[in-house]
Amino acid sequence: KAGVTQTPRYLIKTRGQQVTLSCSPISGHRSVSWYQQTPGQGLQFLFEYFSETQRNKGNFPGRFSGRQFSNSRSEMNVSTLELGDSALYLCASSLGQGESNQPQHFGDGTRLSIL
């Protein structure tokens, strides 16, 4: 069974640009969560999607957005990139509800560098 797949693995952008990251969950998983990992702030929850609906959101500005498709694949978009957006962005998937929503299985992340 394939794990969580994130593409691309590495990305370099400049300030002001926008970026889209992709996450394909484990087959059968309906929940996809996104996290930002930085040395200073650690692992911070961005948002979670379940059945194409954003079910939960962390404390990030509106420049960070996401969506989920009918096949549970998810994309995350960051607009007007800032230097502080440089981070490892991790995607995690899980079955979806209640106890079956855990544990989350993580992808290897997308390393985003802003120049």
Partner 1 sequence: AQSVTQPDIHITVSEGASLELRCNYSYGATPYLFWYVQSPGQGLQLLLKYFSGDTLVQGIKGFEAEFKRSQSSFNLRKPSVHWSDAAEYFCALFNFGNEKLTFGTGTRLTIIP
What CA–CA distance (Å, rounded) separates 65 from 42?
A: 20
**Which lies closer to partner 1 via its Cβ, residue 102 or residue 113?**
102
Torsion sign (Cα): 22, 42, 3, 32: negative
What CA–CA distance (Å, rounded) separates 23 from 70?
A: 13
**Which lies closer to partner 1 via its Cβ, residue 79 or residue 105?**
105
CB of 44 to partner 1, least distance (A): 8
CB of 16 to partner 1, least distance (A): 27
CB of 61 to partner 1, least distance (A): 18
Applying CB under 8 A, which residues contact partner 1?
4, 6, 33, 42-43, 45, 48, 55-56, 58, 90, 92, 98-99, 101-109, 111
Number of alpha carbons in the 13 Å side-chain half-sphere of residue 21:
32
What residue type is 39 in one-letter code? P
**Which lies closer to partner 1 via its Cβ, residue 15 or residue 98?**
98
